[in-house]
Structures are given as C-alpha cells and as structure tokens.
Amino acid sequence: MTLRKKTLIFIGLTLTALIIVLYFALRYVLVDGFAQVEDQVAQRNVQRVYEAFTTEVDAMARNTGDYAPWNDTYNFIEDKNQQYIDDNMVDSTFANLQLNAVLFFNTAHEIVYNKEFDLQNGIEVPVDETIPAHFAENDQLLQHSETTSVKSGFILFPKNPMLVGSRPIVTNDFEGPIRGTLVMGRFLNDELISQLENRTQFVLNFHRLDEPQTTATFESIIASITEETPILIEPLSSERLAGYMVLPDVYGQPGLLLQVEMPRTVYTQSQTSLKLLIAALLIVGVVFIILTLLMLEKLVLSRLASLHAGVEEIGSSGDFSKRLSFEGSDEIADLADGINTMLQDLQNSLQREKELKREVQQLRIEIDQTKKKKQVNEIVETDFFQDLQAKARAMRNQAKEKTKKTDPDP
C-alpha cells in the first residue's frame, strides 16, 4: 500500500471518528439544550392561549358590569317593564357585546327574563332548555354576598361549553339590597375557537372532560398534569408538538382539556443547525484532507519520487560519480545528503578496489619474474648445468682452434 493510500485512509478514519464523536456530543448539548428551550417556548405559548381564553371569560364579567350595577336594571327586576327590554336587550346589543345568552334572576333564583342569540346568523333563537335547567339545579352563580361580587368561568352545557359572567343586580352606586343576578354568556363554539386561533396563531382544541371518550384518549396526559406541572408538552411528530392544560369550570371542577398544537420551530432549527454544523465539519474535513494530501504531495511524496528516480538512474547507469541534487534543510534533503555521502563512499571504495586490482596484477608480474629468475639460478647452479657449461666452453674452444689451423697466415 502506498503512502498516499495510507495517509488518505488514516485521515479519513480519523475525520470520520471525529465527526461521529462531535455529532453525538453536539446532539447531546445542542439538541437537548434546544429541547429545553422548545419546552419553555411551548409552555409560554400555551400560557398565551390560556390568557386569550381568560380574556374572553373576563369579557363576560365586564359585560355584566355594564348592566348589573345599574338603576334601570335594578328597577326592571321589580317592575319587569317592557321598555327596558326594548331599549337594552335588542339584537345589536348581543352582536356588539358578542353574547349568546342573557338571563335575569330575582332573589328567589327565578328567571325574570332570558334571551338567546345566534351570533353567526345574527338572529334571536329559542332559549336552549338546558340553560335554565342548569341554573335551577346549580345556583352557585346566583349567590352573591357582596354588592361588588363577580363570578366568571365556563359551564359545560350539552350543546357547547359557555363562557359566563355573573354579578349581583344593584344600584349605580353598588348599593343594595341585592335584587337578583345577571348572567351573560357566550358559547365556546367553532366561531369563537377560530377567533382564538387567529389571535394566537395556533391550532386549538377544547376537549370536554365530561365525555368518557376524551378521558380514555387523554388518560395518561390528564394524569400527568398536576398543580406542580399545570402544562404538559408532548411531541406529535418531528414537525409538530402539542401543549396540554386542564381548565377548571366555573365551579372549580376539571371541565376542559386545552390542546394547543404548534410547529416545532425550535426543534426544527436545532436539527437544521446540527445538520449545517455536520455539513460544515464534512466540508472542512474534505478541504483538510485535500490540503493535507497536496502538502504531502508537494513536501514529501513528490520529493521522495524524485529521490527514488535519481537513485534508480544512478543504479541503472552504474555511474557512481553522479549526485542527487536536493534543496532545503528538511529530513528528505538530509536523506539525499546521506545517499550522496554513501555514493561518495561507494565511489571511493570502487576506486580503491581498482587500485588494489592494479597493485595485485603488478605484484603478480613481479612475483612471476622473481620466480623465473630463481628457477634459472637454481638450474645454473646444478652440477649438471655446470658440467654442461664446461663442455660447451670446451666445444667452443675446440672450434676456435680448428678455425685457427685452417686459416692461412696473412
């Protein structure tokens, strides 16, 4: 495996491990932190919806405050004059005050006058019998011990829940004795819920807790809502969550389960931030790998390749007088200097080897000549050679004598 591959694999594995560790670390820190923020934001949103709901309830109490402490109303309970009805209980009053029902009770809790109005169609409708029947059985709203007393909330009627306000009928100066009770109400129907949704920008549901199906469906949620935890937040999906709150009715009993659906903006933002951060880490990692490989190629691998090519060239040519040329003062330059030193030593060794070969050859020649001379001397010094030399001299002398005898005198 080449150094390039080893480096790429090592950096890639290191980067992958780093990103995995950072992902889980950031997920724990970032996502969990955002989850807490999401829960806090969701609880504030549910609180906003609850405040919008109570604003509508308070509106019923304010409306009764305009008519219950009034001399005309105070006199009407006694004389039941039609002029009061014609002047004050007209359809425009119901439309302007957003009222569905008005009930006047005397001190005996008997209905003096009541009227129901359809706000959606803008017409008077027959009074729902369950409304008077409810007050006949439940007179808590009709009992006021103080002239300034006010009671408000909602009642679960079979048709729809109704937001109600109740005040004692007294004079303009809030003086008694109390002559009865004025109750005004508005149904919590689709129209009002739609208005609340437009005002809060959330999807709202009001589940009746007097229905077995509701208690069965939301049993665990209802059980989780306590005085210490009045608002419960539960995710519905990766994109939406819901906040729940139990709303007590006017008698203080659990009446409605408020469900507020909202987008998981914080969670989505945390996931987007985490993905962008991981993407940024990947981009930085890829750039880091590329820059590392480029730097490795320029500073190490290309120089090693050049060094390898130079060594191969010297090896193939057999010319050890050549040298590697490398600039710089790093380890590769030191390696090139070491190779050059080795080549110099190798060249010197080869030169010495050649000189030794020449010296050995010369020595062999000298040894051969000495040996031959010695052998000649040994032959010359033998008796046989001496005798042969003597015979040769005698033969040369005889030849000379014969020559002298045959030659005539001059």
The predicted model gives 121-142 an average pLDDT of: 94
Confidence of residue 381 (pLDDT cuts 50, 70, 90): confident
The predicted model gives 399-403 an average pLDDT of: 75
Q: C-alpha distances in angstroms, 63 versus 96, 116, 213, 244, 376?
A: 11, 15, 35, 29, 157
The dihedral region occupied by 37, where left means phi > 0, alpha psi between -120 and 50, and beta the remainder, is alpha
- Domain 68-189 fold: Beta-Lactamase (3.30.450)
Query: Judging by beta carbons within 10 Å of its beta carbon (0-12, 13-18, 19+), is residue 332 exposed, middle or buried?
Result: middle
Nearest to 242 by CA among 257, 222, 226, 263: 263
- The span from the CA of 88 to the CA of 368, in Å, is 156
- The span from the CA of 381 to the CA of 190, in Å, is 151
Confidence of residue 261 (pLDDT cuts 50, 70, 90): very high
Question: Can you tell me which residue has the tokens 């006694």?
Answer: 78
- The span from the CA of 64 to the CA of 167, in Å, is 6
β-pair type (231-235, 240-248): antiparallel
Structure token digits, residue 153? 């909330």
pLDDT of residue 16: 85
Residue 66 has pLDDT above 90, yes or no: yes
Q: What is the pLDDT of residues 10-44, one digit of tens each?
A: 888 888 888 888 878 877 777 777 888 889 999 99
* 32 in Cβ contact with 151 (< 8 Å): no
pLDDT of residue 409: 52
Residue 217 has pLDDT above 70, yes or no: yes
Pick 300 or 187 by higher pLDDT: 187
Confidence of residue 209 (pLDDT cuts 50, 70, 90): very high
Taking the chain, what is the end-to-end CA distance rounded to the nearest angstrom? 109
As a whole number, the mean pLDDT across the chain is: 87
Nearest to 184 by CA among 213, 207, 155: 155
Q: Domain extents for the chain?
A: 68-189
pLDDT of residue 357: 86
Q: C-alpha distances in angstroms, 254 versus 18, 44, 249?
A: 53, 21, 6
pLDDT of residue 373: 75
Q: What is the pLDDT of residues 194-203, one digit of tens each?
A: 999 999 999 9
Q: How far is C-alpha 357 from the chain's CA centre? A: 79
- The span from the CA of 37 to the CA of 53, in Å, is 24
List phi, psi (to 5°) of 110: -100, 145
Confidence of residue 407 (pLDDT cuts 50, 70, 90): low
The dihedral region occupied by 299, where left means phi > 0, alpha psi between -120 and 50, and beta the remainder, is alpha
Residues contacting residue 271 through CB under 8 Å, at least 6 positions apart: 31, 238
The predicted model gives 86-104 an average pLDDT of: 96
C-alpha dihedral sign at 212, 213, 215, 216: positive
pLDDT of residue 27: 75
- The span from the CA of 86 to the CA of 115, in Å, is 12
**What order of strands is seen across the sheet that includes strand 231-235?**
203-208, 254-263, 240-248, 231-235
